[in-house]
């Protein structure tokens, strides 16, 4: 397996697991049946950390689409080098940092973690066109 695909798999697994903590918070606040009910404007809010994690999860899903497609295009074109592997690893670690930092509510570091992920995506896009 190409290492870029490994990092894509880890990022996908991370993204797939992020719902669990905020759903546990929802159950603790609304009760089991309340958490399973259809959403309503009268629902009790999540804890602040869980709301931030929900937003971080949504952002991670949005960025997984871009990252995933870039990695799949690279794999199809059989482009893999030290730069693409490092960019893929950087994307995963930046996403993990982003989720933790956002959940903790640290705004400036959150933006920096996001920016690292964006730069990693840009490097992958440039690699498709043999710029890097």
pLDDT tens by residue, 64-103: 999 999 999 999 999 999 999 999 999 999 999 999 999 9
The whole-number pLDDT of residue 42 equals 87
**3-state SS class at 39:** coil
pTM of the model: 0.93
Nearest to 59 by CA among 22, 102, 25, 21: 102
Give yes or no for a contact between 116 and 90, defined as CB atoms under 8 angstroms apart: yes
Q: 108 pLDDT exceeds 90?
A: yes
Residue with tokens 């809010």: 45
Mean pLDDT of the residues in the chain: 96
- Higher pLDDT among residues 39 and 91, named by residue: 91
Q: Which helix (H) or strand (E) holds 108?
A: helix 107-128
* Domains delineated in the chain: 3-32+47-128 (1.20.120.550)
Q: Give the model's confidence band at 124: pLDDT under 50 very low, under 70 low, under 90 confident, else very high.
A: very high
In angstroms, rounded to a whole number, what is the distance separating the alpha carbons of residues 87 and 90? 5
Q: 44 pLDDT exceeds 90?
A: no
In angstroms, rounded to a whole number, what is the distance separating the alpha carbons of residues 19 and 61? 11
Q: 40 pLDDT exceeds 90?
A: no
In angstroms, rounded to a whole number, what is the distance separating the alpha carbons of residues 4 and 24? 32
The tokens describing 118, both together, are 């964006």
Task: Report the percentage of the chain scoring pLDDT > 90.
Answer: 89
In angstroms, rounded to a whole number, what is the distance separating the alpha carbons of residues 13 and 73? 20
């Amino acid at each position: 397996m190409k290492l870029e695909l490994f990092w894509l798999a880890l990022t996908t697994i991370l993204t797939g697991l992020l719902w669990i903590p905020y759903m546990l918070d929802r159950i603790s606040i609304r009760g089991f049946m309340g958490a399973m009910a259809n959403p309503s404007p009268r629902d009790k809010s999540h804890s602040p950390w869980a709301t931030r994690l929900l937003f971080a999860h949504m952002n991670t899903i949005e960025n997984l689409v871009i990252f995933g497609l870039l990695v799949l295009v690279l794999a199809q074109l059989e482009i893999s080098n030290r730069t693409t592997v490092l960019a893929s690893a950087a994307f995963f670690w930046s996403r993990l940092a982003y989720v933790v930092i956002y959940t903790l509510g640290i705004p400036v570091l959150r933006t920096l973690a996001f920016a690292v992920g964006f730069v990693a995506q840009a490097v992958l896009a440039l690699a498709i066109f043999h710029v890097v």
